[in-house]
Structure 1
Amino acid sequence: MRGRRFSRITTQFNDFFHSLPFKQRILISFVILITLAISAAGTISYLIASKEIQNNAFESSQETVNKTAQIMDTRLKNISTSIQSLMFSDAFEQMLRDVQNNDFLNYYKHLSALQFVFSQISYNEPLIQNVLIATPIGDFYSTSENRNPAQSFYDSDLYDKIKNSPKGVWYKGHADLFFSGNQRVLSFVTKGMHERVSSDPLNVFVVVNIKEREFVRLINQKSPSKDRNYVLVDAKGEDVIQDDVPNTYQFNQDALFLQQMRSGLQGSFFHEFHKADYLVNYTKLEIADDWVLIGTQSKDLLLQQVNGIKRTTLYIIVGFVLTSWLLSNYLTALLLRPLFKLQGLMRKVEDNQLSVRFESRYTDEVAQVGFQFNRMLDEINQLIGNVKFSEQEKRKAEMKALTAQMEPHFLYNTLNAIYCKSVLGENNDVNELILALSQMFQLGLSGGKDMMTLEDELSHVKQYCAIQQKCYEGLFEYELIVEDDQLLAYYVPKIVLQPLVENSILHGFKDKASEGRIRIQISEDDQMLHLLVEDNGTGVDMDKVEQGMAAGGNTKKGYALRNIRNRLQLYYGNESRMKLTNNDKNGTTVALWIPMNKGDHE
């Protein structure tokens, strides 16, 4: 009986449902499904979340504090490791030996030798403000810092702490005592030693100052919410660092709090501050024994999320039910959207945007057409990539060939100069020339690379000028001007300046016996490297030089200039420039403009 009644009701509902317009049927189905799905999901989510959030909130808070402490330990360990690598360096070892021998003579030599080590440490660990090595023969530090001569390390509190400690000591935030600026820093002090040098009587110490503001930012960047506050204190509850937001909890005056905090390496408990309950999570740092990271969070705000979930769930249910009525009008557009999307992609391909792809999580007929469209684009891109790769390989081969032409050209001229000295019996000059040539080859070969830093390129030119000054004594002097030392780090094609200097010597000074002048100037011009070589020689016939450069490989006239111009063209295309002029000193000026590049990009 009941079965027949249910069957009759079902039949009547089906008849009524199918009598409605198709749009209304979609609307009713959509609303019913959305309402049921959202209601069920929202109710289940609320029940689960309200139960689990209270259980997981405490563990999550503790885990966040532990992770933050772990990050701090890792960064502090990196700093300690950096100092160990400093003490393993040869410069540090030589400095210790001079301290051991009470030798003051090599102080400035060791100060210069340690600059690279200081720079490397600061580069590897941005938290480091500065490093000071205190020794009986003098202080060693980065010359970019301004040392405060009024404060000796051996008269400071840091020395009193480290001399009674067998290992390194971490010192809480304070104004920098040893360098000007009164920067707020934390300090790590350890005894300087080397495995090959006895450290017992040396009284050498290394002080590393850490930027307090950066350390504060490192702590706070892990704070997941505004209501959670992180504080770093010592075993007495006193602040280790000064934050922009002052610590109002006064841990050092709360005996009960300190007792609970000292109960283990990490933990959590509720404590009352300012008549309100707070969840306190703490963990002790490994590398600094008496430093404790404390996180505090309002209990009310922590558990407030449960009620927030309840309200949010209700809002979501109501919002989705209302939205479902609106979405029904766009159902047709939704069904046709894949076709519109595919049409839009085809229009982009017409504009040469070959990186577009059709994406769909479905496998219907429209999706299959889209996937075939993707395969077609992949094949087109592969063909284009093959063509580009072939062109790049051809370009690299041309650049290698031009560089190979330049290197023998220079070698022949240099060996001829050495031969002349040898014939004249000037053996000392021959030895110096061979040594300079060896150093030039070391720079010129550059591991098979076609690019080198401007600093190495200038070193190459200096060695060449030294050779030629031996070969042509009294013929010329040269001047090297670098307007900004930062330009030395940029990369240029190797052996690009030496041929220009060689032209000045061999061609510009061919009618001179003395008083030759060469000026090499490096500057920045409109975000380009500007390389200039100028002499006071005999000048050039511009028409003949241009004809020689245009003649290609059929003539030796303009060979060096033609080689450099072709190499720059291959490396940079139209971005580089070369200009040749006669100057007011009756000589020649060659100017190059090269794009600024700090990477060794071949």
Structure 2
Amino acid sequence: MKQWLFRLSFKQRIWVSFAILTAAAVAVTGWASHAISSRIVEKNALQLRQDTINKSAQVLDEKLKKIVLSILSLKMSDPYQDMLRDTTSGDASHYYARLTALQPMLAQLKFIDNFIQSILITTPIGDFYPTTYSRLSENAFRDTEMYRQAKALNRSVWMPGHEDALFYGREQVISLVVDGSGSQYLSDVYIVVNIKVRDLQNLIDSEISHSKGYYLIDRNGDDVLGDGSALPGNGRPDSSFLSLFEQKRQGDFNYENGEGTYLVNYAGLDMGEDWVLYDMQSKKVVLQQVEAIKWATMVAIGGAVLLVLLLSNGLTNLLLRPLRRLQQLMKRVEHNDLNVRYESDYRDEVSQVGMRFNLMLEEIKKLIEQVRRGEEEKRRTEIKALSAQMEPHFLYNTLNTIHCKSLLGNIDDANEMILALASLFQLSLNQGKDILSLRDELTHVKYYLTLQQMCYEDRFDYRIEVEDESLLDYAIPKLTLQPLAENAILHGFKDIEEGGLIRIAIARFEGEQAMRVVVEDNGAGMEGAFPIKTPGGLHSGYALQNIKDRLRLFNGKEAQIHFTSKPGCGCRVEFDIALRKEDSTNDSDRSDDSIAI
């Protein structure tokens, strides 16, 4: 993407920018409208459904409380108290009399609350129930799960939707099991009230008539109404879903499953076993009307981009006309036409750039002349400075060698070395010239090596090889070879007593336009491609960088010096020097003309 953008012209980038900015502005506006509308619709839907679910939970609570109060009134009636006294004494002789006496009370309970499907009072002396219902005698209450839970919890128990196993008909009921002992503290006396699931469903439907997504569950996630489902698709709530109901008594949250995202409203009931009534509505359905805004936004984006593409081309051409004219002038300058000038009647930014362009051309013409005169003078000065920097270094090491001879008592050798050093310096001064012929540079290094041989007797020998004698007349920067020979002696041969060899080889290179110089020794060598910086060594302040800089100035381009070395195999320094005659190179020392290097 980045490379594609770089390949575009400025006109195309402006064109694309118009389209992107327009599309982005319309898209952001549409997205913001869609997002705000979605949040408002979702918030209103949740609030409306929460009010409905709260009202439904309240109605359901009141209905269940009414049934509980009816059971309490039954427990306080005289026929029920008479039955408890017989149960306490274990007297079953009045069973039928007590059963007959309870019939009006049981019928009255069913008449007052038609949600009650059946009532069973189970005692050790027998079961009491409305005689209008047929009891399934083979199913004893003590064998049911209801009895086991009531016995274990020792309190009233609400049983979720199940099939009635105590009476014929086997309807789906919700059962309330109440301790029926009253103040007598009897064991195994229970009142079982079966409530019709169908009537509870109808009650909830009447309150949430517009929804088919309500559920009534207990704290374990089981469906209280008994149809076996507590989530869309007959799923079962997991622990993370149920934990959301524990945060507040009532509220709402978003729930996602494999079928989509749902808006959930819930309200807890006071009755039941921590029962929760909740309602789920598909978020997609709720926001269906808002989708129209999204499609309208997409159509607007497409139309706006198309309009911008049609209009931006002409606008871009108009804006870029002065810039194209300036571009044409710059192309002429590329072909060394410095006499062109930009002219415009406008005073905009492009015109200001054009005026600066005109001033720049004037300055360039002046600077070209200044650079032309000053560049060569600068090169000549740098060569002199670098040569002056090299000489004190060489003098220090040579005088140190003569000093060593004097200390050893070799006065004749010291005198001879002093005479050789005088000849060497006479050649080195070279009438102030910083560029010597190769012949003089080789003579110079011979004097130096002769001096060092007299200091380090039998330690090394040297060999100078020139492939073509005509090369001796070509120029070379002064003190180019001597530091390389010095390095071989001081570092390569410092740990040997004899057998050292320094070889200096010179040959033509690259179509006879340059000569290649090689200085190598068979000394100790070193690890790595470059010498280690050590005080006083080849790479310690003057060294290779000094030689490299002087060669760069001499050749007129970046110089390459190749240094190779291996421990125990010696060192090899190799570089190229452009072929220039000594006389033409040193003309600048006698006149103010430019030096040709």
TM over 0.5: no
Normalised by the length of structure 2, the TM-score is: 0.41
Normalised by the length of structure 1, the TM-score is: 0.41
* Structure number with bigger Rg: 2
